[in-house]
Amino acid sequence: GAGVSQSPRYKVAKRGQDVALRCDPISGHVSLFWYQQALGQGPEFLTYFQNEAQLDKSGLPSDRFFAERPEGSVSTLKIQRTQQEDSAVYLCASSLLAGGRDTQYFGPGTRLTVL
Amino acid sequence: KQEVTQIPAALSVPEGENLVLNCSFTDSAIYNLQWFRQDPGKGLTSLLLIQSSQREQTSGRLNASLDKSSGRSTLYIAASQPGDSATYLCAAFYGQNFVFGPGTRLSVLP
């Protein structure tokens, strides 16, 4: 079935490089979330989109992190000038309703390793 | 600050046992609470969602309860199976974002 997909699944970057992570949510889902998950910890909220509008970006750790969802479907998380502390799994989730008050469906994640 | 904790951090049980996983949240103004399962190298799979107005939800061998006033939720797994081995995370939803606990790593031994 058509779930949430993310690409690439694995990304290795040298410190200082820019990376772009893609999320394809379930078709028709209004809400889209990005999370960062460090090893052995639970996911931490980064940002939330309702359709194309970024309503909450309070979790983005620095101005090197930027997310967009220009047409209200596919979303891209961009990290500029990557640092070693950016190494983590980046998870995307979508839900049908606005506000994300219903079940969230997660993608498999992108594991980013910054050397 | 909104925080979610889970006890125990890890649990190992023989097959067939009934078990309880605990979740606590500091801010009781939640919209809902969701339990997820995460297998190694995989994303999260939603198991149960309890709205703030509800006390419990059931799905098969899983039952989750919610006590907003005390800031607690429990996930009850009946007749555990080796296939239940995974990390279980609870997440409190506060309006536009989830706050996740660190998870309980469960191993069910055959």
The alpha carbons of chain A give a radius of gyration, in whole angstroms, of 13
User: Is the N-terminal amide bond of B8 cis, ω within 30° of 0?
Assistant: yes
Contact B97 A104 (CB under 8 A): no
What's the pLDDT at A26? 96
Contact B43 A59 (CB under 8 A): no
The alpha carbons of chain B give a radius of gyration, in whole angstroms, of 13
The C-alpha atoms of residue B1 and residue B7 are separated, in whole angstroms, by 19
What's the pLDDT at A27? 95
The C-alpha atoms of residue B8 and residue B5 are separated, in whole angstroms, by 9
Contact A91 B44 (CB under 8 A): yes
Question: What average pLDDT does the segment A20-36 reach?
Answer: 96
How far A59 CA lies from chain B's nearest CA (Å)?
A: 9
What's the pLDDT at B97? 77
What's the pLDDT at A1? 52
Spell out the residues 6+ positions from residue A74 whose beta carbon is closer than 8 angstroms to its own. Answer: A22, A23, A24, A25
Residue ranges in chain B modelled with pLDDT below 50:
none
Tell me which amino acid residue A82 is: T
Residues of B in contact with A42 (CB under 8 A): 4, 89, 91, 100-103
DSSP tag of B68: T
Q: How long a stretch of residues is chain A? A: 115
Average pLDDT, chain A: 94
Q: How far is CA B105 from the centre of its chain?
A: 11
Contact B43 A91 (CB under 8 A): yes
Chain B residue whose CA is closest to A92: B43
